[in-house]
Amino acid sequence: MRAAFDAPIQASAAVLERILASGHPTLVVFETPACAPCDALHPVLEKLAREFHDRVLVVRVSDAAQGWLAARYHLTCVPTLMFWRGGCERARIHGNAGAAAIQAHLEFLVTGEGRPDPAEGDKHTLIAYFGGNPQSAAPRALLG
């Protein structure tokens, strides 16, 4: 029996590893708090999670500013949307490219046919912190 969710799953980085290891088609959205393009993406993700609920897991990871996570997934901006199937990344979108572009990528993820055109949208450069409290510490690395 396969899991089906009609809303985005809010997951920590530790849980993300287990989700991706399952091999189930998954859209992972890396975001940070107070990111306007990330906030604008939420209604789109809700709609697409309902539409693809029986075919794709939609997962939101909001701690993308953790340095090790940014390094592990080569994140340079938020939001970053990664499309996974069979434990491998199949496509990536930097920024909020809109519902049509994301839907085309999801169709490709499910069918494996008709690779969509590359897409980019509004985004923020990710400032990643390696240790310490991000609110009180100066950034030690700027990925971009």
Which residues carry out catalysis?
35, 38
Place of tokens 């979108």: 93
| Cα–Cα distance list, 8 to 14, 26, 50, 53, 101 (Å) | 17, 11, 9, 9, 18
Tell me the C-alpha distance between 120 and 43, whole Å.
18
Tell me the C-alpha distance between 137 and 140, whole Å.
8
Bridge partners (DSSP) listed for residue 127? 142
Which helix (H) or strand (E) segment holds residue 88: the answer is: strand 88-94
State the virtual CA torsion across 92, 48, 16, 55 in degrees, nearest 10.
-100
